[in-house]
A = this chain, B = another copy of it.
Amino acid sequence: MTGVHGRDWRPRYLQLAEELRVKITSGELAPGTLMPSETELADTSGLSRTSVRNAIRQLREWGLVRAEQGRGTYVRAPRQRVRRRNAERYQWEKDRVLLDQDERLKTGATEHDTGLTVDDLKFHAEYTRVEADADMAAALQVERGTPLLRRVYWTSSRHENAPLTMSYSYLPYDLVAANPDLLDASNEPWPGGSQHQLYTIGVELDRIEEEVRARPPSPDEAELLDIDPGVSVLTVRKTSIDTTGRVVEVADVVMPGDRSELVYSHKLQRWKT
């Protein structure tokens, strides 16, 4: 055991960032407030300019402040957070497929994740027909060049312009063309979502596989999500497999790292005694 004791194992910049976070979330530093300058913060905290700069970087990364070119750093308005429990979400969506349309119309999966209601959400859907590139051909287990339906979904809170999440979904075109309503983006948001759409063409999902990764946003994503380029995105590649073992949909979900988290609960079997 080494000899470090006490509560100071975190770097100093992080301690300063935590202090400033408390001031922002408590409202002492209100949205729109210009943050104190690096010099002021260095003076009041007794830390180096480098530590102060790292603390500010940390606040940007948490999405609490925004640097405006040549004007300084401002406190942001709090943003809607998304906390997704995907294991429960997927089963919940599946259970809803067999409900009446009236029930399915009432709420969707994003409401489930955010606690918002249908009225609080804006929904943007865009469909295009594309051909499978190498990546999608491998993911969907089809030949390169196979026609695909590409669906882009951006879901936003009514109180914010930037989407909470973006999803890029790909399905074999010939599969979905069996129900022409599934080719028309104006039918979105579809009551009951993707699993109900698949149900209309006789598809039942057996399982959903997820690959979760972290990466910086592309320049387009940073703009769309209204995040500092120094904020990461959390991505999920979601592969849906039906009861015959066929891959029926691959979706790439992009979530802004400053206000999103994925939650999983793993129940363990008891030891036999």
Residue ranges of A at the interface with B (Cβ–Cβ < 8 Å): 1-2, 4-7, 9-11, 14, 54, 58, 61, 86-87, 90-91, 94, 97-98, 126-133, 145, 150, 183-185, 204-216, 218-220, 230-235, 243, 255, 257, 260-271
Q: Please tell me if the beta carbons of A185 and B1 are within 8 angstroms of each other in the complex.
A: yes
User: Known pairs A2-B127, A211-B263. 7 more at Cβ < 8 A?
Assistant: A1-B184, A4-B128, A54-B219, A91-B266, A204-B271, A207-B265, A214-B234
Which B residue's beta carbon lies closest to that of A220? Answer: B11
In the complex, A228 Cα to B86 Cα: how many Å?
31
Tell me the smallest distance from the CB of A25 to a CB of chain B, in Å: 12
In the complex, A130 Cα to B14 Cα: how many Å?
17
In the complex, A117 Cα to B230 Cα: how many Å?
36
Task: Count copies of this chain in the complex.
Answer: 2
Select one of B97, B150, B233 contacting A9, CB under 8 A. B150
In the complex, A270 Cα to B1 Cα: how many Å?
52
Q: Please tell me if the beta carbons of A183 and B269 are within 8 angstroms of each other in the complex.
A: no
Q: Please tell me if the beta carbons of B214 and A233 are within 8 angstroms of each other in the complex.
A: yes
| Neighbouring B residues of A260 by C-beta, 8 Å | 213-214
In the complex, A213 Cα to B98 Cα: how many Å?
33
26 contacts between A and B (CB under 8 A): A1-B127, A1-B129, A2-B126, A4-B128, A5-B131, A9-B150, A10-B133, A14-B218, A58-B218, A86-B264, A87-B264, A91-B268, A94-B271, A98-B271, A208-B265, A209-B265, A209-B266, A210-B266, A211-B263, A212-B234, A213-B234, A213-B261, A214-B233, A214-B235, A214-B255, A243-B270
Select one of B131, B211, B270 contacting A261, CB under 8 A. B211
Q: Please tell me if the beta carbons of A7 and B129 are within 8 angstroms of each other in the complex.
A: no
